[in-house]
Amino acid sequence: MDTEAVRMIATGITMGLGSIGPAIGIGMIGAKGVEALGRNPEAQSAITTNMILAIAFAEAVAIYALVVALIIKFA
């Protein structure tokens, strides 16, 4: 098998597996945030701030996966 083909397959697998966790995490954060807002609407600003912060941390993992995939592809 050609090394370029192996790199492309590895890049695809890296991005696929590296984005599953953040996608599930962001979905769970959104679901629990909406649930918390339904139970306690007067705490909207605190809940929204914490949700955005947690989503940013989860998204950072996907960005790390993108960096690793680009290293695999171009190195």
pLDDT in tens, 19-75: 999 999 999 999 999 999 999 999 999 999 999 999 999 999 999 999 999 999 998
Looking at this protein, which amino acid is placed at residue 23? A
The whole model's pTM is what? 0.82
Looking at this protein, which amino acid is placed at residue 3? T
Question: For residue 21, which of 63, 50, 70 has the smallest C-alpha distance?
Answer: 63
**Would you identify the CATH topology of the domain 3-74?**
F1FO ATP Synthase (1.20.20)
Other CB atoms closer than 10 Å to residue 35's CB: what's the count? 11
Per-residue pLDDT tens for 4-33?
Answer: 999 999 999 999 999 999 999 999 999 999
